């Protein structure tokens, strides 16, 4: 039985109970009833009948939510608010559930419906509405995307937490923090749930984290031109190789020599995995704390999105397919990148993405070591060792970040990628198990 069928069955049962006669046999006037009205004055009309009929008509309009001639999103939410806590509440939700059976509803409507279901104690039903539920009953109907608005993610996080699914709760709230650091209550929830999971606290900022270097770059042939990125491990500069006359990406670690082992492992792994889809390393000095990488003038997916140039990323398959092939090659070599996010996907050209920053990469099955909030799978947050499915989750998050910006532009051909993002971010056992399966899914 589908989610929608279960919801309708429960709600239908409540509606029947509320409509059943209470006491008496339904015949004759009950004791103490008001006397009949004098002849010629017509039958008495119960007080409030027009208002009740109007409320019933409004609730019935919810059945057309999402339809071309149905109520607007604002109307639907207003009707739900008026019905909340009244005998019409179950009927209102039942109409919306029936509408979801036939068409995709906007995020604000689904969030309002899920909030009402949660208030009624149906947490599983509320999560189903937010997650998109099972495939729709109508043949050929599309499957809904999980709600991706800040309000929807916060509500989903609270529901996961109340059901004891703290890793999924933490994953959802980190997705909120990535886009809106000041979202009310998000940081408090994040601290509380991390503590409950026993997750390591983020390291306190160190004095070295400012990483201000002189334009000469010390004992190197590189002349620094400008800073282009900054992360947890170091800062990246555009630089010029004054000997060979080429541009390079010059990454300076915050530790300036104190991160020797970390830097050495990152550089060696990038060289070992060198090939399509992996950034090229030209030189490194673990003692001085720097790596010289190929210069990718277009920058990262994150740079394109921040510049408001999301339209350049359509069609998605142009860069998403080769990115899947790069992950497949990494997984085939027995490694997990462990930090797949827009900032680590560089674009030599729009059809030639390369993965950078292998500082968190680990052999499959090895203990994981941190990650970028908002792009770490719930299973990894729960303590699972490094697994290719973690990279698949990160790939799904990258797709989600791009889709959220392309959808309002009316870009075509998004549906297959929305479905793939849904699978990548969904339950672990429904996710493509590795990069090879991802490649099969995008071909």
**Range 3-13+55-197: architecture per CATH:** Alpha Horseshoe (1.25)
H-helix segments, 163-217: 166-179, 186-197
Let me know if 69 is exposed, middle or buried by CB neighbors in 10 A (0-12, 13-18, 19+). exposed
Phi, psi of 386 (to 5 degrees): -55, 130
Contacts of 352 (CB under 8 A, 6+ apart): 319, 322
Predicted pLDDT at 29: 44
Residue 260 has a pLDDT of: 80
Q: What is the pLDDT of residue 136?
A: 43
- State the sign of the Cα–Cα–Cα–Cα dihedral 153, 401, 327, 255: negative
> At residue 344, what are phi and psi to the nearest 5 degrees?
-105, 10
Provide the 10 A C-beta neighbour count for residue 310: 21
Phi, psi (deg, nearest 5) at residue 64:
-95, 10
Nearest-angstrom CA–CA distance, 92 and 80 = 7
Q: What's the Cα-to-Cα distance from 277 to each of 271, 327, 347, 349, rounded to whole Å? A: 12, 8, 10, 12
**What pLDDT sits at residue 202?**
43
Q: Residue 354 is inside which H or E element, if any?
A: strand 352-355
Asked whether 327 and 301 are in contact (CB, 8 A), the reply is no
For 434: left if phi > 0, alpha if psi spans -120 to 50, otherwise beta; the answer is beta
Tokens representing residue 365 in the block: 């099955």
pTM: 0.70
* Interior angle at CA 236, CA 231 and CA 242, nearest 5: 170
Q: Within the chain, which residue ranges are assigned CATH 3.30.200.20? A: 207-294
Full 3-state SS string of 241-309: ECCCCEEEEEEEECCCCCCHHHHHHHHHHHHHCCCCCECCEEEEECCCCEEEEECCCCCEHHHHHHCCC
Domain 207-294 CATH superfamily: Phosphorylase Kinase; domain 1 (3.30.200.20)
Which residues in the chain are classed under CATH 1.25.40.10?
Answer: 3-13+55-197
Per-residue DSSP letters for 394-417? HHHHHHHHHHHHHGGGT-SS-HHH
pLDDT tens per residue across all 443 residues of the chain: 444 455 555 555 555 444 444 444 444 444 444 444 455 454 554 554 565 566 667 889 999 999 989 999 999 999 999 988 888 888 998 998 889 888 888 889 999 999 999 988 889 889 888 887 543 444 444 456 678 888 999 999 999 999 989 888 988 898 888 878 888 999 999 989 988 887 654 443 343 444 455 444 556 788 899 888 887 678 899 999 888 889 999 998 876 655 788 888 889 999 999 999 999 999 998 888 889 999 998 899 999 999 999 999 999 999 999 999 999 999 999 999 999 999 999 999 989 999 999 989 999 999 988 788 889 999 998 889 999 999 999 999 999 999 988 988 888 899 999 899 989 988 888 899 999 999 999 98
Pairing of strands 246-253, 234-241: antiparallel
Domain with CATH 1.10.510.10 in the chain: 301-442
Confidence at residue 279, expressed as pLDDT on a 0 to 100 scale: 95
pLDDT at 55: 61
The class that CATH gives domain 301-442 is mainly alpha
Backbone angles phi, psi at 278, to 5 degrees: -125, 135
């Amino acid at each position: 039985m589908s989610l929608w069928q279960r919801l309708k069955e429960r709600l239908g049962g409540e509606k029947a109970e509320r409509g059943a006669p209470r006491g008496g046999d339904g015949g004759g006037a009950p004791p103490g009833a008001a006397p009949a009205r004098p002849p010629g004055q017509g039958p008495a009309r119960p007080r409030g009948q027009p208002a009740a009929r109007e409320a019933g008509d409004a609730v019935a309009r919810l059945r057309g939510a999402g339809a071309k001639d149905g109520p607007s999103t604002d109307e639907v939410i207003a009707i739900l608010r008026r019905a909340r806590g009244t005998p019409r509440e179950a009927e209102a939700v039942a109409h919306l559930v029936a509408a979801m059976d036939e068409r995709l509803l906007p995020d604000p409507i689904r969030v309002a419906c899920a909030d009402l279901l949660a208030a009624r104690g149906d947490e599983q039903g509320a999560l189903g509405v937010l997650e998109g539920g099972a495939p729709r009953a109508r043949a050929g109907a599309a499957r809904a995307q999980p709600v991706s608005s800040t309000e929807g993610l916060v509500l989903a996080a609270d529901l996961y937490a109340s059901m004891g699914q703290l890793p999924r709760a933490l994953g959802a709230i980190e997705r909120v923090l990535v886009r809106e650091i000041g979202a009310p209550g998000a940081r408090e929830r994040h601290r509380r749930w991390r503590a409950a999971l026993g997750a390591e606290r983020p390291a306190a900022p160190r004095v070295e984290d400012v990483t201000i270097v002189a334009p000469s770059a010390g004992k190197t042939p590189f002349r620094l031109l400008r800073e282009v990125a900054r992360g947890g491990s170091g800062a990246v500069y555009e630089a010029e190789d004054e000997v060979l006359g080429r541009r390079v990406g010059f990454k300076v670690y915050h530790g300036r020599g104190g991160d020797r082992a970390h830097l050495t492992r990152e550089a060696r792994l990038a060289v070992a995995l060198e090939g399509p889809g992996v950034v090229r390393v030209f030189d490194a000095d673990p003692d001085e704390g720097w790596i010289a990488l190929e210069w990718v003038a277009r920058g990262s997916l994150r740079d394109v999105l921040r510049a408001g140039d999301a339209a350049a990323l359509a069609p998605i398959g142009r860069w998403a397919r080769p990115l899947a092939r790069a992950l497949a090659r990494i997984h085939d070599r027995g490694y997990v990148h462990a930090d797949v996010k827009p900032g680590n996907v560089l674009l030599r050209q729009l059809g030639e993405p390369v993965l950078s920053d292998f500082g968190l990469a680990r052999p499959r099955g090895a203990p994981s070591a941190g990650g970028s909030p908002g792009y770490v799978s719930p299973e990894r947050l729960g303590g699972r060792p490094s697994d290719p499915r973690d990279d698949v989750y990160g790939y799904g998050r990258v797709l989600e970040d791009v889709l959220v910006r392309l959808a309002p532009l009316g870009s075509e051909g998004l549906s297959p990628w929305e479905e793939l993002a849904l699978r990548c971010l969904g339950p672990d056992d429904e996710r493509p198990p590795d990069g090879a399966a991802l490649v099969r899914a995008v071909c």
